[in-house]
Amino acid sequence: MAPLKGFTTMTKTATQTITIPAKSRQGTGTGSARAVRREGDIPGVLYGEGGGASRPIRISYRDIEKPYQTGRFTSTLFTLDLEGEKMRVIPREVQIDPVTERPIHADFQKLIAGARIRLFIPVHFNNHVDSPGLKRGGVLNIVRHEIEFSCMSEHIPQFIEADLTGMDIGDSLHISAIKLTEGLIPVIRNRDFTIATVAAPSAFADVEVKPTTAAEGEAPAAGAAPAAGGAAPAAAAGGKTPAAGAKGAPAKAAPAKAPAKGDKK
């Protein structure tokens, strides 16, 4: 279905950032990282230094615990205070302990003014009560909670807003229906991908897929097995009993064997 027209959609640019203190660390490798963790810090790497160089850093776990738990850590802009040197950064990769599910390593990308960067930006859906489809019991099916964009490092939006006003059951919201700020370009350019749809209520779906039963008294289809506890199949033409072993013959339908001559009655 074609995307809906007239949606009031927008992007919201970040106005303030969270500052994360950091320190330089000596050495790299597994041994150095373990030593940092034993002291209660998280080892990391800062990328984007001059000439493509990187710098090993360490961060206190408590300083990134709350930002990480938001679920948008890798799409949030931060200010990294590296021993007095402040810079704008964005998390690039976070390694998690499989048992405790706590971060054990974090990589950051230094943002240089004028450079473009690729990152996932969350989508916020507004005005659910103004959607006729949702009012009738429809379900908002979110296809993409986040969308990957290419944008300028100094104009990274916090999120994108989509207005659900007017969406009815069966309607779809595509990326072309969202008015993006200048310089914000979706990474997927070759198709108008779907962001969300309004699906029919589950009760309606159950009615549509429920198989219809045969009318009462209607004969079963050819080859169909008789229902459990139902009547035995009708006798063959001429009143003959089905041959023993024939398909469809009832298990106990064979006639009693006549006693042989000379047998005791």
Report the 3 state secondary structure along 15-58. Answer: CCCEEEEEEECCCCCHHHHHHHHHCCEEEEEEECCHHHCCEEEE
- The answer, yes or no, to whether residue 33 has pLDDT greater than 80, is yes
The amino acid occupying position 41 is D
82 with 24: CB under 8 angstroms? yes
Tell me: do 106 and 152 sit in the same domain. Answer: no
> pLDDT tens across 138-195, in order?
999 999 999 999 988 778 888 899 989 999 999 999 999 998 888 899 999 999 999 9
pLDDT for the residue 123: 92
What pLDDT score was predicted for residue 195? 95
Please give the pLDDT value at position 217: 46
Q: Grade residue 51 by pLDDT with cuts at 50, 70 and 90.
A: low
Q: Are 61 and 131 contained in the same domain?
A: no
Boundary-marking domain end, from 46, 79, 111:
111
Q: Is residue 33 part of a domain?
A: yes
| Residue at which a domain ends, from 164, 190, 208 | 208
pLDDT value, residue 16: 64
The per-residue pLDDT for range 53-73, each reduced to its tens digit, is: 789 999 998 998 888 888 778
Q: In this prediction, what percent of the chain has a pLDDT beyond 90?
A: 36
Where is the domain boundary, 84, 111, 138? 111
What's the confidence (pLDDT) of residue 152?
Answer: 86
What percentage of residues in the chain have a pLDDT greater than 70? 69
Higher pLDDT, 6 or 111: 111
Q: Which domain holds residue 47?
A: 18-111
Cβ contacts of 129-136, under 8 Å, gap ≥ 24: 130/163, 130/164, 130/165, 130/166, 131/164, 131/165, 131/166, 131/167, 131/168, 131/198, 132/166, 132/167, 132/168, 133/167, 133/168, 133/169, 133/170, 133/171, 133/198, 134/164, 134/167, 134/198, 136/169, 136/201
Residues 246-257: what's their mean pLDDT?
50
pLDDT at 259: 52
Number of domain units in the chain: 2
pLDDT for res 65: 87
- CATH number at 92 reads 2.40.240.10
Q: What is the pLDDT of residue 255?
A: 52
Write down the mean pLDDT value for the chain.
Answer: 76
Judged against a pLDDT cut of 90, whether residue 17 lies above it is answered with: no
**Band of the pLDDT at 231, cuts 50, 70, 90?**
very low
Q: What's the pLDDT at 186?
A: 94
pLDDT confidence band for 1 (50 / 70 / 90): very low
Asked if the structure places residue 129 within a domain, the reply is: yes
Output the domain CATH number for residue 138: 2.170.120.20
Q: Residue 218 domain-assigned? A: no
Q: Within a domain: residue 258?
A: no
Does residue 71 sit in the same domain as residue 129?
no
The Cα 152–Cα 257 span in angstroms is 94
Q: Which of the four pLDDT bands, split at 50, 70 and 90, describes residue 2?
A: very low
My answer on whether 187 and 134 are in the same domain is yes
Position 135 in a domain: yes
Q: Could you tell me if residue 81 is inside a domain?
A: yes
pLDDT digits (tens, 9 = 90+) for 90-117: 898 899 999 988 899 999 998 887 788 8
127-143: average pLDDT: 94
Does one domain contain both 94 and 60? Answer: yes
Residue 237, domain member (yes or no): no
The string of DSSP letters for 62-90 reads HHHHHHHHTS-GGG--EEEEETTEEEEEE
Q: What average pLDDT score do residues 209-233 get?
A: 47
Asked whether residue 214 carries a pLDDT value surpassing 60, the answer given is: no
136 and 105 both lie in a single domain: no
Q: Is the Cβ–Cβ distance between 48 and 109 less than 8 Å?
A: yes
Statement to judge: residues 122 and 59 lie in one domain? no
